[in-house]
Chains A and B, each alone.
Chain A
Amino acid sequence: MRRFLRPGHDPVRERLKRDLFQFNKTVEHGFPHQPSALGYSPFLRLMAIGTRSGAIKLYGAPGVEFMGLHEENNTVMQIHFIPDQCQLVTLLDDNSLHLWSLKQHGGTSELREEHRFTLKGPPGSPPSATQVTAVLPHSSQEVLYLGTESGNIFVVELPSLAVLEDRTITPVAVLQRIPEDNCNRRSCEMVEALREHPKNPDQILIGYSRGLIVLWDLQNNKATHHFLGSQQLENLYWQRDGSKFISCHYDGSYTQWPVSSDNRQSEPLENTVPYGPFPCKAISKIYWQTTKNGLPYIIFQGGMPRASYGDRHSISVIHGSQQTAFDFTSRVIDFFIIFSSDPAAEFDDPSALVVLAEEELVVIDLKSSGWPAVHPPYLASLHCSAITCSHHVSNIPLKLWERIISAGSKQNIHYSSMPWPIDGGTNIAPDPPQRDLLLTGHEDGTVRFWDASGVCLHLLYKLSTVRVFLTDADPNDNMNTLGEDEWPPLRKVGTFDPYSDDPRLGIQKIYLCKYSGYLAVAGTAGQVLVMELNDEDAEHVVDHAEADLLQDQEGYRWKGHEKLKTRDGPVQFEAGFQPFVLVQCQPPAVVTSLALHSEWKLVAFGTSHGFGLFDHQQKQLVFVKCTLHPSDQLALEGPLSRVKSLKKSLRQSFRRIRRSRVSSRKRRGGGGNASEVQEANAKFDQDVLQEMELAPVQRKIEARSAEDSFTGFVRTLYFADTFLRDSSRHCPSLWAGTNGGTVYAFCLRVPPAERRMDEPVRAEQAKEIQLMHRAPVVGILVLDGRSTPLPEPLEVAHDLSKSPDMQGSHQLLVVSEEQFKVFTLPKVSSKLKLKLTALEGCRVRKVTVANFGSCKTDDYSENDLAVLTNLGDIQIISLPFLKLQIRYPCIRKEDVSGIASCVFTKYGQGFYLISPSEFERFSLSTKWLVEPRCIVDVPEVTSNNHVHKSGSENAARKS
């Protein structure tokens, strides 16, 4: 408020701000959290996924994505596309139906909710009467059939979603034509499946839960055939020619039924329990796909032997003598088969099996031998091992990009070469302006390289650091190797594997130099690896050094985890990033900050104990600096002691509860006089209440002091070539900021290139700045004479940046969680500052320099700070005058992991996790916007289709 009342509100600047900044959440990358339903339109070649939070996402060709959200935020139970239309119907768990359509608007298609509808029974009827269990969109596109728990089948008109009462198929009507001896009213309870006859749209197959299956004639409103299954029915599937259908059952069996015009009550052709003879689990869905060679594909979900494999999430494919049970690491939500959608084709000819599991999407190529998996271009399971950190690198040089892709392609040899089979819609988004990499570090010690240039976040390459260390698990132990006669023929598919062998392997910090291909990766047990990109497989020894960060401090005991054991001797590395140096911090605490200078060949790392500088050219430790305050016991003992104290406090609180219960019982038992007891109880209750009220959430107000815990925790490290000692000579320097508000500056002497190997790198502490407000230092930056941030190492050498201005005086920007401060250099004196916490009560969580270009003119761009606060707000702050430009609410403040996961790019975009498996992408820039732009056209086939449909209809009528 006050800010806006201040004078100096410049209209020119306001206009410029509008040309520079704009906040948009553009696209969600990764795999939807808690998927609950799957749908597919062979006509549009689009797939739809519904989630438990009411989101619905449509995917087609790479780049073709749509998202919708049900207002109710209820679980999406079923998704059905209307045949040959750009429409779909969703059923939520509140029994509401929603009609969505894809409509073109302003050159792109948009997904919109058109209608909603909840089936209502007659007054007084139980809710089950209208609880929808099965949905059948009829091929006429005019009606929906809704099977319910009561056995009634309601008919709803499209697109108005109005009930056509006179066309309701009631159990009474169904039972009229069925002999009463083996059927009663109860047989028609709960509709389990509704299937339209593939050739004759006037016939629908109704499957009731108790096993009764009826073929219903819509023209004459009567049951023409009935089939009596002995087992509880799970699902139905028509064969392509409509002469047979298949039913699957609760006991793990499936049955084939013939449909002949003469026989009104058929006996099953075949009844099979594929994983018998022991009791099996239900087969919940089944496909029967015909092929030219006559051998059908029978594909079903479940049916595993209950006792030994009942816990598996499997989908089995049987084709002649080939049989495989694909074994998923998470629950199977649903699946579908992509087969020939041409109605004139004689056979199904299935090409791919698409399975939506709870944590990933798996597509199996059914055309290639061995049924290999297809590498999905989107819906990547980001969380196949939990994400522990992320790092974004903008504008990757083409050479490095190609080398990473080539390294990645060598890892993907076991994938099918089949083009992505779900290819509906057209991506009309312009090509991404540059190549961007998003690197995610994972709990299992891997780093994944994602192509983050466009809408599809696509895995390029996966790096594992595990090989360097000796872990309990043998990396050669392959879970997938199964003997020949293994039964059932399980085969593990998918990449989701949340179990980490050793939490110490977790990646905490990543730094990639895009010019040199040097990569530094640091982890949970104080390990720092420096790697180099190598296009060939290689076997070499990783040089190993230890950095004792406690040095001269004595009497400290680390109670945390041990350091990782390293492998002796040479290690085999595949093509890609290969480690050549390992530095292990002692004590092996989590590495909290990391910086790499590829030009000087130096890597700096910090933990809660101190920081160190390592020369990776000479493979020598340059220096270490302990930042620990002598009284900081917590940091010294490691994380375990804190766990213990938490346990202790939990135990104490439980004890307190128990004690209060015991004493209350005692009181109750002891008293003779009833009223007395009551009184005592009341008093006691009051006491308890009071006690509860006495302990509200409260926060201690205390100034930070040097003695606080974790003041030595190194939060940020920064290399700069600047004026540290005097204003005439600049030199390389290393800056470190701690949790206690201290900034250390070291003057470095790096030998010139020709003597780089001969002379040691020297470092000398030049400055120490203690911020009086003692807030954690989260960012350090040096601005050159033009007030521009210093370029990245090698950026100038590659002619990608102007060389910094070394004439004018440099400035130092220190960002703490609470304020931004600019100091002069070389003499450090405060020049200006912006207080954040003191005024707004929010704290800086992430800060990055970002370049913003104007959307109006190409020649204007400026550097600003992009800041994320602990309240989830994003603020843009100008450089070098530290004026707040704009503020957007971005992440809910309760979403702590979302805020912690946020990364900014160099061009004003950012990513944060909205669930363990999804990144939300946002943009602060008017110029750099990556969002899906796509069109879904109604294919030409429609008319042909209708001709064919009506043709077959005629044919059916004739017969």
Chain B
Amino acid sequence: QFGAEFRRFSLDRYKPGKFEDFYKLILHIHHIANLEVMIGYADVHGDLLPINNDDNFFKAVSSAHPLLRVFIQRQDEVDYSNFGTNTLSRKKKALVTLRNDNLRRRPHINISMPHDFRPVSSIIDVDILPETHRRVRLYRHGCEKPLGFYIRDGTSVRVTPHGLEKVPGIFISRMVPGGLAESTGLLAVNDEVLEVNGIEVAGKTLDQVTDMMIANSHNLIITVKPANQRNNIIRSSRMSGSSGQSTDSTASHHSLPTTHVLQNFHPDEMESDEEADIVIEGGLEPQHIPKLHSLTSSSLSRINGSSLSHRLQRDLVLNNSSGRESNGNIHKLLSSLKTDPRHSLVIPRGGIEEDGTVITL
């Protein structure tokens, strides 16, 4: 019953009403009134987000352009960690651990960022990038891990007005096990690096790109063309409304228009989250440095946290209803997540095809 079944229905965009009513409507339309289900929707970034209270229902409706894709899953089949993390975009920005509570019984759930967690990475600017590209932000100071990856020279094939052309490119050559880059699962070996913090790498040497990455290492934003194009975010809803339109992974790679860079990546914009230098007044001895160091990172993370919170609230919805994970758990979780990038692709149980879960109503 939860296979690929589509329903299309309309709703007053400006008066969406209450979540409870919507929930009932859904159950009614799908003739599943006797089941407990979990409702989710695809936001503009292609992320699967839950609908379980009035607020996020309202948000969901207001963000529907022109259609709202609603996903319905049987309550007991729901893999909670899918929300905002894995399902579509493989997003793991926050270590989301949703408690397996019955969400429906708590209609007004507190949506906020868990302060125990630090962001380590995120996918950003999904709305302006071609679907074949991915822009990944790594927060170096969010964790103690090394960035942990290597880049190399290579050649890449571009589509030009004169046909296919081989051009030199920069690729990710190696991941350090346990490093930040690997643990995010957002970067993989042989991904082609297209931009570093908004600057195109085309025409730059390996050493130049290395220097740029290291110079930006505290807040590294890499735009890559993933070697594996199967995990790309599909934004078909914006295009036609027909369901399940898959992107051709071999689609031509158009060089990013610079205007995108300009709009979204004014370098000054990033200054805000850069940490200040440490100044010690008075005659301090060098042995104070280690102490100082720890002081830095915590103060830094605070800065990071506050300035990023708006973005985080936009990008991820966290259910933090019951208790916070201790640090130890985070690490455990991190290490369990880092294992295999494909892990995040795990298809929801029930043998549903990835595209099949997209139900356009």
**A775 and B215 contact, Cβ closer than 8 Å, known pairs A696-B153, A871-B208:** yes
Of B30-38, B234-242, B279-287, B337-345, the segment with at least 4 beta carbons within 8 Å of chain A is B279-287
Task: Evaluate contact between B211 and A701: CB separation under 8 angstroms.
Answer: no
A702 to B180: give the CA distance in the assembly, Å.
10
B223-239 near A? 1/0 per residue, CB < 8 Å: 00000000000000000
Q: Does B64 contact A (CB under 8 A)?
A: no
Given contacts A703-B218, A841-B208, contact A2 B277 (CB under 8 A): no
B109 at the interface (CB under 8 A from A): no
Interface residues of A in 700-718 (CB under 8 A from B): 700-704, 706
- Determine how close the nearest CB of chain A comes to the CB of B203; give it in whole angstroms: 10
A770 within 8 A of B: yes
One of B118-126, B129-137, B143-151 contacting the partner:
B143-151
The answer to whether A698 and B150 touch across the interface, beta carbons within 8 angstroms, is yes
CB closest residue in chain A, given B179: A702
Name the residue in B205, B215, B218 with the highest tally of chain A Cβ atoms < 10 Å from its Cβ: B215
A768 to B181, CA, bound (A): 32
Q: In the complex where A696-B152, A698-B174, A706-B289 touch, is A768 in contact with B284 (Cβ < 8 A)?
A: yes
Instruction: Determine if B215 and A765 form an interchain contact, defined as CB atoms under 8 angstroms apart.
Output: no
- Option from B217, B267, B293 in Cβ contact (under 8 Å) with A706: B293
- Report if A661 contacts B (CB, 8 A): no
**Residues of B contacting A818 in the complex (Cβ-Cβ under 8 angstroms):** 211, 215
Per a CB cutoff under 8 Å, which of B261, B266, B267, B278 touches A769?
B278
Query: Assuming the A-B contacts A701-B151, A703-B217, A772-B274, are A835 and B267 also in contact, with contact meaning beta carbons closer than 8 angstroms in the complex?
Result: yes
The answer to whether B276 touches A772 (Cβ under 8 A) is yes
Given the complex, which residues of A lie within 8 Å of B284, measured CB to CB? 765, 768
Query: Which of B173, B181, B286 interacts with A698 by CB under 8 Å?
Result: B173
Chain B residues near A838 (CB-CB < 8 A): 197, 199, 212, 215-216, 267
Please indicate the chain A residues that have their CB under 8 angstroms from the CB of B205 in the complex. Answer: 841, 893
B79 to chain A, nearest CB (A): 33
Select from chain A the residue with minimum beta-carbon distance to B210.
A699
The answer to whether A699 touches B150 (Cβ under 8 A) is yes
Tell whether, in the assembled complex, residue A702 and residue B209 are in contact, meaning their CB atoms are under 8 Å apart. no
State whether the Cβ of A115 lies closer than 8 Å to any Cβ in chain B.
Answer: no
Interface size class of B (residues with CB under 8 A): 35 or more
Q: Cβ of A702 and Cβ of B217 under 8 Å apart?
A: yes
Chain B residues lying within 8 Å of A643, measured Cβ to Cβ, are: none
Could you say which residues of chain A place their CB within 8 Å of the CB of B174? 698
Q: Does A5 contact B (CB under 8 A)?
A: yes
Taking a contact as CB atoms under 8 Å apart, the answer to whether A841 and B212 are in contact is yes
Closest to A712 in B: B286
Chain A: how many interface residues by the 8 Å CB criterion? 44
What CA separation (Å) do A426 and B80 show in the bound complex?
Answer: 89
A773 within 8 A of B: yes
Residues of A near B276 (CB, < 8 A) are: 772, 830
Nearest chain B CB to A698 CB, angstrom units = 4
Given A1-B258, A842-B208; A766-B149 close (CB under 8 Å) = no
Do residues B153 and A772 form an inter-chain contact, with CB atoms below 8 A? no
A870: B residues at CB distance < 8 A: 211
At the interface, yes or no: A843 with Cβ under 8 Å from chain B?
Answer: yes
Most B-side CB within 10 Å, residue of A627, A766, A827 = A766
Inter-subunit contact A2/B262 (CB<8 Å): yes
- With the chains together, A505 CA to B214 CA distance in Å? 36
A701 and B213 form a contact (CB under 8 A): yes
Q: Which of B140, B204, B209, B281 contacts A703 (CB 8 A)?
A: B140
Contacts of A839 in B (CB 8 A): 199, 212, 267
- A434 contacts the other chain (Cβ, under 8 Å)? no
B54 within 8 A of A: no
Say yes or no: is A771 at the interface (Cβ < 8 Å to chain B): yes
Partner of A765, one of B277, B278, B283: B283
Q: In whole angstroms, what is the CA distance A771 to B280 when docked?
A: 11
| Cα–Cα, bound, A775→B211 (Å) | 10
| Chain A residues in 8 Å Cβ range of B286 | 626-627
Taking a contact as CB atoms closer than 8 A, the residue among B147, B261, B296 that contacts A2 in the complex is: B261
A25-41 Cβ-contact flags toward B at 8 Å (1 or 0)? 00000000000000000
Taking CB atoms and an 8 Å cut-off, the chain B residues in 43-102 that contact chain A are: none
- C-alpha gap A871/B206 in the complex (Å): 12
A5 vs B218: C-alpha distance when bound (angstroms): 27
User: Which residues in B have their C-beta under 8 angstroms from that of A692?
Assistant: none
Bound Cα distance A818, B212 (Å) = 9
How close is A399's CB to chain B, nearest CB, in angstroms? Answer: 42
> Would B213 and A772 count as touching, CB distance under 8 A?
no
B165, CB-defined interface residue at 8 Å:
no
- Give the residue name and chain of the B residue nearest to A765 (CB): B283
Nearest CB to that of B266 among chain A residues?
A: A2
- B325 in contact (CB, < 8 A): no
Interface assignment of A767: CB less than 8 Å from any CB of chain B: yes
The verdict on A263 contacting chain B, using a C-beta distance below 8 Å, is no
Q: How far is the CA of A5 from the CA of B259 in the complex (A)?
A: 11
Asked if residues A772 and B275 are in contact (CB atoms below 8 Å), the reply is: yes
Which residues of chain A from 656 to 692 have a CB within 8 Å of any chain B CB? Answer: none
| A627 (CB) vs chain B CBs: closest residue | B286
Within 8 A of B (CB), among A1-60: 1-2, 5
Q: Is the CB of B215 within 8 A of A773?
A: yes
Q: Mark A824-858, 1 if CB is under 8 A from B, else 0.
A: 00011110000101111111000000000000000
A697 at the interface (CB under 8 A from B): yes
CA–CA, A5 and B283, complex, Å: 46
- The CA of A818 and the CA of B218, in the complex, are separated in Å by 14
CB neighbours (8 Å) of B210 from chain A are 699-701
Tell me the bound Cα distance from A837 to B196 in angstroms.
Answer: 11
Residue B207 lies at the interface, judged by CB distance under 8 Å to chain A: yes
Contacts of A703 on B, CB cut-off 8 Å? 140, 146-147, 214, 217-218
Given contacts A701-B150, A838-B267, contact A772 B277 (CB under 8 A): yes
A539 at the interface (CB under 8 A from B): no
Question: Least Cβ distance of A332 to chain B in Å?
Answer: 42
Q: In the complex, are the beta carbons of B279 and A701 less than 8 A apart?
A: no
A764 to B279, CA, bound (A): 16
Contacts of B281 in A (CB 8 A): 766-767, 827-828
Residues of A within 8 A of B213 (CB): 701
Q: Does B292 contact A (CB under 8 A)?
A: yes
Q: How far is the CA of A703 from the CA of B300 in the complex (A)?
A: 15
Query: Taking the nearest CB of chain A, how far is it from the CB of B287, in angstroms?
Result: 9
Q: Determine the chain B residues whose CB is within 8 A of the CB of A773 once the complex forms.
A: 215, 218
Return B147 CB to nearest CB of chain A, in Å: 5
With a CB–CB cut-off of 8 A, which chain A residues contact B153?
696-697
Bound Cα distance from A754 to B115, whole angstroms: 63
CB-defined contacts of B149 to chain A, threshold 8 Å:
700-701
Residues of B within 8 A of A767 (CB): 279-282
Q: How far is the CB of B191 from chain A (nearest CB, A)?
A: 13
Contact among A2, A706, A828, A837 for B215, CB-based, below 8 A: A837
Which residue in B152, B211, B279, B293 is a CB contact (below 8 Å) of A837?
A: B211
> Chain A residues with Cβ under 8 A from B212's Cβ?
837-841
Q: How far is the CA of A843 from the CA of B211 in the complex (A)?
A: 8
CB distance from B268 to the nearest CB of A (A): 10
Q: How far is the CB of B132 from chain A (nearest CB, A)?
A: 23
CB distance from B281 to the nearest CB of A (A): 6
Given contacts A765-B282, A819-B215, 17 further A-B contacts (CB under 8 A): A2-B262, A2-B266, A627-B286, A697-B206, A698-B174, A702-B148, A702-B217, A767-B281, A768-B284, A769-B278, A770-B279, A772-B274, A838-B216, A839-B212, A840-B199, A841-B211, A893-B205
6 A-B pairs with the lowest CB-CB distances in the bound complex, closest first = A841-B208, A703-B217, A837-B215, A699-B210, A765-B283, A698-B152
Q: A interface vs B, CB < 8 Å?
A: 1-2, 5, 626-627, 696-704, 706, 764-773, 775, 818-819, 821, 827-830, 835, 837-843, 870-871, 893
**15 sampled A-B residue pairs with Cβ under 8 A:** A696-B153, A696-B154, A698-B173, A699-B210, A701-B150, A703-B140, A766-B282, A770-B277, A770-B296, A771-B277, A773-B215, A828-B279, A835-B267, A838-B216, A841-B199
Name B residues whose Cβ lies closer than 8 Å to a Cβ of A: 140, 146-154, 173-174, 181, 197, 199, 204-218, 220, 258, 261-262, 266-267, 274-284, 286, 289, 292-293, 296
